[in-house]
Amino acid sequence: MKTVEVRHPLVAHKLGLLRDAATGPALFRQVVGEIATLLAYEATADLALGTRRIDTWAGPLDVGRCDQDAITLVPILRAGLGFLPGVQVLLPSAPVSVIGLRRDEETLQPQAYYQRLYRDIAGRTALLIDPMLATGGSAIAAIDTLKAAGCARVKAIFLVSAPEGLRALEAAHPDTEVWTAAIDDRLNDHGYILPGLGDAGDRIFGTPA
């Protein structure tokens, strides 16, 4: 499975801010958004580039034009919503599909509670958006859904990934392409990533764990 750990100094610096337990929700959301933009920049490096003719001061010119409609952004609720605005900085016109999943704290299995996919999703590339890849169960369930709906290609960006989650994702969907700001050490006994940053959804939405 193509897996890119983005080792840019600014990504490392910003991730350090997120790992700091003293960072409150306002700064946390801001920095999550900034890293989302940097990861999306990397994940869209092979976006198809067409041309269109425009009139410039010096006459007609063919300029580059990306078809943002060829991609659908797919945040996994809830924490994925914190990632979405940073991706939309780069892809403001890309249609958004939403998948709501919540991990059962006992079984660690994802439970689906909402889904609204872009009507014309079949044949398109999906850019899955979630800050955390822990056991991988949520990402796998989301990609099951996207493939069943006919997505031709799935890219995914995660803030922090656990090796266990990457292995599970590779076993289930080896054609997924992943960009992540960090591959951390391991999961703890409760399925949380170490060192990680805690519960991303709780920190984005300011809800106590």
Ligand X SMILES: O=P(O)(O)OC[C@H]1O[C@H](OP(=O)(O)OP(=O)(O)O)[C@H](O)[C@@H]1O
d(CA 34, CA 154): 22
Give, for 166, the enclosing helix (H) or strand (E): helix 163-172
Q: Is residue 29 among the annotated active site residues?
A: no
Q: Tell me: does residue 125 bind ligand X (CB under 6 A).
A: no
Q: Is residue 202 among the annotated active site residues?
A: yes
Name 56's Cβ contacts closer than 8 Å, sequence gap at least 6. Answer: none
Binding track, positions 73-92, relative to ligand URA; x by CB under 6 A: ------x-------------
Question: Among Mg ion, ligand X, ligand URA, none, what does residue 192 contact (CB within 5–8 Å per kind)?
Answer: ligand URA
Output Rg (C-alpha) for the chain, integer angstroms: 18
103 is an annotated ligand-binding site residue? yes
d(CA 22, CA 28): 10
Q: Tell me: does residue 170 bind Mg ion (CB under 5 A).
A: no
Q: Is residue 207 among the annotated active site residues?
A: no
Q: Nearest approach, Cβ of 165 to ligand URA (angstroms)?
A: 9
Helix axis angle, 80-88 relative to 25-43, nearest 10°?
60
Q: Tell me: does residue 163 bind ligand X (CB under 6 A).
A: no
Length in residues, the chain: 209
Handedness of CA 20, 25, 31, 32 (dihedral sign): positive
Closer to ligand URA by CB, 121 or 132: give it: 132
Residue among 81, 82, 85 nearest 98 (CA): 81
Q: Nearest approach, Cβ of 113 to ligand X (angstroms)?
A: 9
Q: Nearest approach, Cβ of 79 to Mg ion (angstroms)?
A: 6
Q: Tell me: does residue 139 bind ligand URA (CB under 6 A).
A: no
Window of 39-47, 61-69, 83-91, 186-194 that interacts with ligand URA by CB under 6 A: 186-194
33 is an annotated ligand-binding site residue? no
